[in-house]
Amino acid sequence: MAKVAFIGVGNMGAPMARNLVKAGHEVHVFDIVATNMQSVQGAHMAEQAQFAVAGAPFVISMLPESRHVQSLYLGEKGLLAHIAPTALVIDCSTISAQASREVAHAAADRGIAMMDAPVSGGTNGAAAGTLTFMVGAQEEHLARARPLLEQMGKNIFHAGAPGAGQAAKLANNMLLGIMMAGTCEALALGVANGLDPKVLSDIMKQSSGGNWVLERYNPWPGVAQGVPAANHYAGGFGVDLMLKDLGLATEAAMASKSVTTLGEVARNLFALHSRLGHGKLDFSSILKTIQNHTD
């Protein structure tokens, strides 16, 4: 079992760190919110991030945005100065591919191996140890990280070189945002034309409209069980988090002059939905704004 430094133990990081503790690792956590650290029982709490990483062969980070990751690792006071050159740094944050590459290059300049491994699966997946990792890394680095990742997740995809994990995640989540809003449009259109939402869902699921949303995450209340739509859109993957991911896709599209018209329209639908006051609901609640009726 290894010594693992884990920086950022919020809603996602804490259950991930707990799974590493459970697997027998010596986990040293740090979070700028001290009470977050207390939620990882069995872990060592560090007063500063640099204390957590000292001598650790693995450093994992799980932070909200690009600027947090950049500010953690880079600069004169950055953590890279305190990490052993033999260590492997695994950043699980969902940030821009560009920021991810920037930090990986800075790490490489110091001889430190770094990989991006953003996740999907939400807090439930983090707790259950069933996350999906999309990894941007050299082959040998992924091989070294795999045992750790397998204690936190189920599917581990190798997307390519550093930065590729972020690129894969933003492409996937942009498609997910389009599919969720598109599935809501199709269901609302069918229902407005006399169809039963469950019957239509079943038909499309087995036809060329079939997709993950219809299989696992039906947005229409009453059609599926155990999904946010069955629970007033509580829990799940929040509208504002989807909005953040769609924003990362937009940035990548602008940087590469890509055409993502549907992605942009989906982003604006979620932005409008958030402005209507639904930012904290699960993202399948976009149905409410698409299907809204006042009569």
Give the dihedral sign, CA 228/234/236/239.
Answer: positive
Q: Which residues contact 153 (CB under 8 A, 6 or more apart)?
A: 119, 121, 125, 129, 130, 131, 132, 133
Token digits of residue 226: 């155990």
Nearest distance, CB of residue 235 and its own copies, angstroms:
16
For residue 69, how many other CB atoms are within 10 A of its CB? 25
Half-sphere exposure at residue 6, Cβ-oriented, CA atoms within 13 angstroms: 31
Minimum CB–partner distance for residue 67 and its own copies (Å) = 12
Selected binder of its own copies within 189, 222, 231, 234 (CB under 8 A): 189
**Annotated catalytic residue: which of 154, 169, 257, 280?**
169
**Stretch 102-141 residues interacting with its own copies (CB under 8 A):** 120, 132, 134
One character per residue 39-78, x = contact with its own copies (rule: CB under 8 A): ----------------------------------------
Residue 137 CB, shortest distance to its own copies, in Å, is 13
Residue with smaller CB distance to its own copies, 36 or 284:
284
Q: How far is the CB of 141 from its own copies (least distance, A)?
A: 17
Q: How many CB atoms lie under 10 A from the CB of residue 292? A: 9
Whether 244 is a known active-site residue: answer no
Write out the H or E segment, with its range, that includes residue 119: strand 119-120
Residue given tokens 């769609």 in the structure block: 246
149 sits near its own copies (criterion: CB under 8 A):
no
Query: Between residues 77 and 275, which has the closer beta carbon with respect to its own copies?
Result: 275
Site for its own copies in 201-260 (CB under 8 A): 202-204, 206-212, 215-217, 243, 247, 249-260
Nearer to its own copies, 95 or 188 (CB): 188
Give the other-Cβ count within 10 Å of 215's Cβ: 11
Q: Say which amino acid occupies 230.
A: A
Decide: 133 and 158 in contact? Cβ < 8 Å: no
C-beta of 65: minimal distance to its own copies in Å?
12
List the one residue from 43, 103, 187, 227 that touches its own copies (CB under 8 A): 187
Q: What mask, x for binding its own copies by CB under 8 A, covers residues 260 to 279? A: xxxxxxxxxx-xx-xxxx--
Tokens of 32: 């700028």
DSSP 139-195: HHHHHHHHHHHHHHEEEEEEEESTTHHHHHHHHHHHHHHHHHHHHHHHHHHHHHTT-
Interface region with its own copies, contact rule CB under 8 A, candidates 34-42, 55-63, 105-113, 182-190? 182-190
Of 52 and 243, which has the nearer Cβ to its own copies?
243
Per CB under 8 A, contacts with its own copies among 16-45 are none
Q: Which is nearer to its own copies, 18 or 101 (CB)?
A: 101
> SS3 string of 263-282?
HHHHHHHHHHHHHHHHCCCE
The CB-of-28 to its own copies minimum distance in angstroms stands at 31
> Is 155 a binder of its own copies (CB under 8 A)?
yes
Catalytic site residues? 169
